[in-house]
Each structure stands twice: as structure tokens, then as C-alpha cells.
Amino acid sequence: MSEEVVGDVTGYREVMEYSYFDRMKNALTAVCIGLLLLFGSWGVLFWNEGRSVRRGTDLDEGRSIVYRLGMTSIDDTINTRRDNELVYISGIVDGGNNAIYDEVFGLNVSNATKAIKYERSVQMYQWEERSQTKTEKTSDGGTRTVTTYTYYKKWSSRLIRSSRFKEYVTPSNPTSFLVPKYEETSNDISLGPFRVSTEISEQVDWDVTWKDAPIDTSASNFPDFPGKTATFSQGELRLQRNRGLNSIGDNKVKFSVVLPDYISVVAKQGSNGVLEPYITKGDRELLLFARGIKTSDELFDKAEQDNVLLTWGLRFSGFLTMVIGISLILNPIAIAFDVLPFCGDALEDVTGNYIIPCIALLVSIPMSLMIISIAWIFYQPLFAIGAVVMGFLLSALYITYFEPKLSPKRREPSSPAQEVEPQDKTVGDEAEPEAIGSVEEPEPITAVPPSKVIVLKVGYDQ
């Protein structure tokens, strides 16, 4: 039931001032909270990996042993040979012969709709307080906090205590609803020849507005609401002080039902003809449910996808909690800069808004990966060992094969002296002395020892 904001009235402003020492005291208190968040994030990340492995194991077990009963109807008989086994079944779920009765308005819900569930939801027109806070720096290193309170008129399904408001409003909110909220589920819900357990019935939640509910506001047995005018239209009953005009304390009641529809279930076929959660080898419950006609493979595929999404969602939540925790632990450093003259305010802003979050982020990434890796070693030792071995093999392959090809070739050092083969020369010419060996960098010319030079003279006998 959506909540509608209709009007508002502005309240007042509240100003609170905090000294530098008050801020530091609050920051040190936040360090304790940060430590709790940090340790809590470790626990969440570690537990989540185990939960993911256990859920995957249960789904693999269920997929391998499920017996597919297929479509069923109320005229089918139960195959008792499948008692206590995991079965897949699909068919129409209905509320059976159990009567759902609304005593306040005298409604026999089951006879009218064959409903599985019935809900009477209530909203009341009330004041609601909202606050907006703005913090400003002071010259002495403290802060001034300005809070503005605003009051709105709205329809709300929760009871709002106006006595707790910062400012008195009139008229004040009533302390109770004219009609209490009410919800009832049939205790004889069936799927073909089977009855369903509470765990399954709780997932049947596609309620729709009961637009043609047999409500007669002029009937003699209609409840009396002093000072209120009752009007009913399209499944909604309005109890107003002035018809067509909303006033504080007015109520509106909505009638909803869950009607029969097709569902698909993977569950245990109990010996008493009840579909209930199956207990796996790991002593955990396995129950798959979907609205509409689905195959057993579709149910298991959807459950595996949900497990992956939940795993990554909890990983991100644990990582984000770790970032917040580390930021709170380091926050006193930023506040300490505020006492410095001239640049203290700027240093606090830069440190608190940029440097500390970056440090927290850089620390949280490897720390999260480390916690997850430790959890893998604990919950999936074979997988973890395989990953480590694969990492070593890839590293060895890179070092022995790829690195020599990617790195520049090393030059071989030349020998101190090399013999030079004689070459044909013109008669009377002499070969210039030549130093044997390559020089990589130009160096000053120095005297070359005779032992390092071979002088060749070529001539002909006269």
C-alpha cells in the first residue's frame, strides 16, 4: 500500500555547537564502531563463501536425485512409493475448503473467491516529521549543526507518534487506527492431491485488490464509526470526517486476496501427503518455488543464479562495510589537522574527503581478497590448491617461455683478442694496427698493450 504525501508545514530550526574536543571525542568513539564494522566485514565475507558452497552443494544434490512428477490435478492420486523423496510437481494451488472470515465486516472470503490468503490493510492520515541537517565549520575548530524540522500530512500504514515531535502540531495524531490490520491464510492449501506446508504457503504472495468485495456501508450490520462517513469503491473503504476532504485521523481500508494460480515446486513428498522442505545430506533444507509452470531444470537454474547474485551481493556488502570501518578508524587523523593555523581546514577537508577514503579503498581490496581466499582454502581446499598450482604453472611458463621473447636480447661479451685471417693487400701496403674486440660505449683512446694487438705485414720476395 503506497504512502501519499499530501501537504506540509514548516517547523523550526535547531542549532547545536560542538567544540574541537567534542569532535575528537566523537571521532574516537567512532573508532570503536569502525573496529566492529571491520571485524564484522571479515565475518560476513568468510561466512558468505561457506554459505555459497553449501547452497551449491545442496542444489547439485537435489538436481541429481529429483523425481519429476510433472503436472498434477485434484483428481490425481498420490504415488506413495515416492514418499520422503525429493519430487518436482506443477499445478494449480488453491485455498481448499477452509473458510477465511473477516469478523469486523462480516466477510466470508473463501466462499466468495476460493482465496488462499486474505489481507485487510489500513492507512491513516497523519502528521510526519522530517529533518534536514547541515554542518558548518567554526573558527575555533568546532562545528555548528543546524537541523530544520518539517511536518507533512500523509497517508501512512504505520502509527506515527506526534508526541515525540520536536514541535507540537495540532491536531495531534490519533494513538490507534479505527480498524486494525488483519491477515489470514487458509490452513488447507492444496496443490493437486497434495497439501502444502507453511514454508510453501508463505511464498504465495501475489495479492490483488478485492474490488468486488461484498461491502455494503448502508447495511444494518455494518460497523459504526462515530464521527466518520464511510464510502466504499474499487476495493477501498474510506472513513472520513468530511467526505471528499482528508483530515488528520481519517482511515482508508484496502481489501486484498490471493487467488488460485499455477505454481511449480521442488519439495519433499511427505508420508502424510504434504509437500515440505527436503533435508539434504548436509542437514539443510531444500525447497524451490516459482509462480507459473516451470520445469525442474528451470527451477534449479534460477536457484543457482540467485545463489551467485546473493554471493556477489554479500561480497560487495562486506567490502563496503570494510571501507566504512577503516574510514572511521582513520577519521581522527583528519580532525587532528584542523588545529593547524592557516591550512588546517583545507588539510582536514582533503584528508577526510579524499585521502582517507582512498586509503580505506586500497586497503580493503587486498584484505577482502585475502579473507575470501582463506575461506576458499577452508571450504574448498581442492579448488584452492588447484588454483595455487595453476598460478605456479602459469608463472613458470611465463618465466621460461614468454619472458625471454619479450625482453631485449643480451649481448655476448667479446674476447680480449681475436686472430684475424690474413687478407690480400697491395704490394708495399701495411695493415694498420687494429684492436680486436667490440666496444659498446665510446671511451678515451689509451695505449693498447702489445699483447692485445696483432700486426700483420704482407709482402713479396724480390
In-domain check, residue 24: no
Structural domain for 140, as ranges: 5-14+68-302
Q: Is residue 396 part of a domain?
A: no
- The least confident of 5-14, 245-254, 340-349, 359-368 is 5-14
Question: Using CA atoms, how far apart are residues 82 and 58, in angstroms rounded to an integer?
Answer: 20
Residue 428 is predicted with a pLDDT of: 45
The more confident residue out of 116 and 7 is: 116
Is residue 460 very low, low, confident or very high in pLDDT (cuts 50, 70, 90)? very low
Dihedral angle at the C-alpha atoms of 375, 381, 384, 385, nearest 10 degrees?
150
Q: Which amino acid is at 288?
A: L
Does residue 110 sit within a domain? yes
Residue scoring higher pLDDT (440 or 114): 114
pLDDT of residue 415: 52
Tally of structural domains, the chain: 1
Read off the amino acid at residue 166. Answer: K
Confidence (pLDDT) at 390:
75
Radius of gyration of the chain (CA): 40
325 occurs within a structural domain: no
255 φ, ψ (degrees, to nearest 5): -105, 125
Task: Please choose, from the candidates 187, 194, 197, the residue with its C-alpha nearest in 3D space to the C-alpha of residue 77.
Answer: 194
Go through the chain and tell me how many residues it has: 462
The tens digit of pLDDT for each residue in 280-333 reads 999 999 999 999 999 999 999 999 999 999 999 999 999 999 999 999 999 988
Q: How far apart are CA 188 and CA 220, in angstroms?
A: 32
Asked if residue 75 has pLDDT above 80, the reply is no
Domain-located, residue 382 = no
**What is the 8-class DSSP label of residue 126?**
E
pLDDT at 318: 97
Whether 404 maps to a domain, the answer reads no
Q: Does residue 173 contact residue 162 with C-beta atoms inside 8 Å?
A: yes
pLDDT, mean of residues 77-97: 91
- SS3 call for 389: helix
Q: Is the pLDDT of residue 419 over 60?
A: no
Nearest by Cα to 146 from 137, 158, 155 = 137
Q: Is the pLDDT of residue 45 over 90?
A: yes
Cα dihedral angle (339, 342, 344, 345), rounded to 10 degrees? 110
50 domain-assigned: no
Q: Per residue in 150-204, pLDDT tens? A: 999 999 999 999 988 988 888 899 999 999 999 999 888 999 999 999 999 999 9
**Closest C-alpha among 207, 262, 261, 263 to residue 235:** 207
Q: pTM (2 decimals)?
A: 0.76
